[in-house]
Amino acid sequence: MRAYERLLEYVKVKTPSSEENMETPSSSCQFELAERLVGEMKELGIEDAAVDGKCYVYGTIPATEGYENSPSLGFIAHMDTVSEFTENPIHPVLHKNYDGQNLVFDEGGRVLDTVLFPHLKNLKGRTLITSDGTTILGADDKAGIAEIMTMAEYVLRSDVPHGKICLAFTPDEEIGRGADHFDVEGFAADFAYTVDGGAEGEIEYENFNACEAVFKIQGVNVHPGSAKGIMINAGAVGCEIQMMLPQEETPEQTEGYEGFYHLIKINGSCERAELVYIVRDHDADKFAQKQQKLKEIADAMNQKYGEGTVDLQIKEQYRNMAEKIRPCYHLIENAKKACENMGIVPKIQPIRGGTDGARLSFMGLPCPNLGTGGYAFHGPYEHITVEGMDKSVEILMELVKIYGIIKKE
């Protein structure tokens, strides 16, 4: 079975994670996909495939006889999707021999526009997969799952010698909790890759440093007719805080290694208000400066309106895994080699986000990220190509071969 055929089936199982639910998994629907994957893995011959009580799926392919001293190589993808655009059932649509032009979705009136997505012209002649335009596709990261499963099938059906291969599929990655209960010791891989990136050939090992910052504002609410010198409008203070931040350092105005402040939620009234930000930067010093800027704003507001008006809470989410990958840079060099061996130009670029691998790298499992062949994740414009998925599988297979001939020191 080809990877895209698996994807078409996996996306029909809705698996949005829920930030509001603090249990793991955050949505019970993720167990449906987990159980399905375990069954499929067992059918392939992965005898120890299992899902644990937290909805983590694990399985191993034993090393070929005589290759037990090769590094144990892991491949990881996540089962959950974002919760946005998941109200309706997902209906994947294949567009064979795509012409590289604007594509009008079957439903909803949306257009996959080559001006907004200029890479589309490079996909001319391929088979493009989208949703019907009313939902996400779910290729993030069910494409990664499909590619790992297809690679596993090829390994088990071929006579390619290999070291031990460790597979894992995680819940709740989209809400930043995918590594919370990951059993690194039980997984028993020496190194791993997440398969959770964009175009085939992408290799990523530098991600954002990340935190969440919450401003809680306590106002003083009195009748507006007699408010002079008394009222403190919490909502207005919130607006003031937003305008004190660098207006050019937002997601829509930054790229590459540029960090940002992103206001993701705001609510309140004259009496109380709350602003929730995510703060991102690849550079640790610049990241610290951003956090200091937030603290200075909170202090300035309390000095202006009175102590206790603004409470700032900062919570670290993840760190840049580059410092953990550089000592194991063979992971990047071998990924480049795998791409080149398959005729694909490798593209090393920073992740403008995070992956399970970022946290796993700090938990003792060095884990850069590889592309899946997909684009425009997290919305109704999400798309992927059959050919890109096939190439991604070839890259995974090549990595299995490369690490199979390496011997542990």
Split at pLDDT 50, 70, 90, the class of 254 is very high
- 280-329 pLDDT tens trace: 999 999 999 999 999 999 999 999 999 999 999 999 988 999 999 999 99
Residue 262 is which amino acid? H
Say if residues 243 and 300 touch (Cβ distance below 8 Å): no
pLDDT of residue 121: 97
Neighbours of 154 (CB within 10 A): 15
Residues 197, 216 within the same domain: no
pLDDT of 409 > 80? The answer is: no
pLDDT of 344 > 90? The answer is: yes
CA atoms within 13 A on the CB side of 275: 25
How many structural domains comprise the chain? 2
pLDDT of 361 > 80? The answer is: yes
Q: CATH number for the domain including 222?
A: 3.30.70.360
pLDDT of 93 > 90? The answer is: yes
- 9-49 pLDDT tens trace: 999 999 999 999 999 999 999 999 999 999 999 999 999 99
- 184-195 pLDDT tens trace: 999 999 999 999
How far is 343 from 320, CA to CA, in rounded Å? 30
pLDDT of 408 > 90? The answer is: no
Catalytic residue among 80, 190, 200, 281: 80
Residue 363 DSSP one-character state: T
Residues 83, 198 within the same domain: yes
- 121-168 pLDDT tens trace: 999 999 999 999 999 999 999 999 999 999 999 999 999 999 999 999
Residues 186, 55 within the same domain: yes
Residues 54, 105 within the same domain: yes
pLDDT of residue 353: 85
Q: Is 20 a catalytic residue?
A: no
Could you say which of 318, 336, 366 is where a domain stops? 318
Mean pLDDT of 256-274: 97
Domain-located, residue 124: yes
Say if residues 23 and 34 touch (Cβ distance below 8 Å): no
Residues 330, 193 within the same domain: yes
- C-alpha dihedral over 293, 294, 300, 306, to 10 degrees? -160
Q: CATH number for the domain including 56?
A: 3.40.630.10
Domain-located, residue 409: no
Residues 31, 157 within the same domain: yes
pLDDT of residue 383: 98
pLDDT of 355 > 90? The answer is: no
Instruction: Output the average pLDDT for the chain.
Output: 97
How far is 178 from 139, CA to CA, in rounded Å? 17
Catalytic residue among 132, 147, 153, 173: 173
Mean pLDDT of 385-402: 99
Could you say which of 318, 333, 367 is where a domain stops? 318
pLDDT of 106 > 90? The answer is: no
- 204-246 pLDDT tens trace: 999 999 999 999 999 999 999 999 999 999 999 999 999 999 9
Residues 10, 140 within the same domain: yes
pLDDT of residue 125: 98
Mean pLDDT of 61-80: 98
Question: Which range of residues forms the domain containing residue 313?
Answer: 209-318
Residues with Cβ within 8 Å of residue 44, at least 6 apart in sequence: 149, 152, 153, 156
Residues 195, 260 within the same domain: no
Residues with Cβ within 8 Å of residue 185, at least 6 apart in sequence: none
Domain-located, residue 287: yes
Mean pLDDT of 55-77: 98
Residues 111, 43 within the same domain: yes
Residue 79 DSSP one-character state: -
Residues 200, 214 within the same domain: no
Could you say which of 318, 336, 353 is where a domain stops? 318
Domain-located, residue 282: yes
Q: Is 106 a catalytic residue?
A: no
Neighbours of 124 (CB within 10 A): 12
pLDDT of residue 107: 87
- 169-178 pLDDT tens trace: 999 999 989 9
